Amino acid sequence: MATKWNPDIMLPIAEVLSRLHAENKDYAFAFGVTSRTFTNWYRDIPELRELVVAGRQEDNVTVAKSLFERANGYSHPEEKIFLNKDGDIVRAKTIKHYPPDTGAIAFFLKNRDPENWKDRHEVVVEDLTREKIIKEKMDKLEKTGALPTSITPPD
């Protein structure tokens, strides 16, 4: 027997799953339905869709912030723990620095400004025949005066 949608039970579960960064298969498993059924519910039940989307948007913001930090480099407080020569534990507060990451920079720029940072650039190539190339060069020479106006063939 197929599981029926029960908002009183399933919406609270969906809210918890959205906070746990669940994927569609996780929701389907938790609800005891197939992925196809969950997809249909997601499409047809606005309250469910809103919870799932809200969780994913929160994830997107978190990941975007992390990517931005990786691209620019960042620092954070850190505590290092050492043993001194007497065997006593010594704690030292330090600042851990992470330099900018070129991979994160490239990814960020390619997605943020693809017009200027895409890997592939379009090159427009005209269909040039040999005759057309020769004619263009001859016309150019004629305009510059480098070509005599009348050429007499040799005897």
Residue ranges of the domains in the chain? Answer: 7-71, 73-108
> How many Cα atoms within 13 Å fall on the side-chain side of residue 38?
18
Q: What pLDDT was estimated at residue 1? A: 42
Q: What pLDDT was estimated at residue 134? A: 81
- Rounded CA gap, 63 and 73, in Å? 15
For 17-72, write each residue's pLDDT tens digit: 998 889 999 999 999 999 999 999 999 999 999 999 998 898 889 889 999 999 99
For 107-131, write each residue's pLDDT tens digit: 999 988 888 888 776 777 776 677 8
| pTM of the model as a whole | 0.53
For 69-115, write each residue's pLDDT tens digit: 999 999 999 999 999 999 999 999 999 999 999 999 999 999 888 88
Structure tokens at 106: 């490239």
The DSSP secondary structure of 49-115, one letter per residue, reads HHHHHHHHHHHHHHHHHHHHHHHH-EEEEEEEEEE-TTS-EEEEEEEEEE---HHHHHHHHHHH-HH
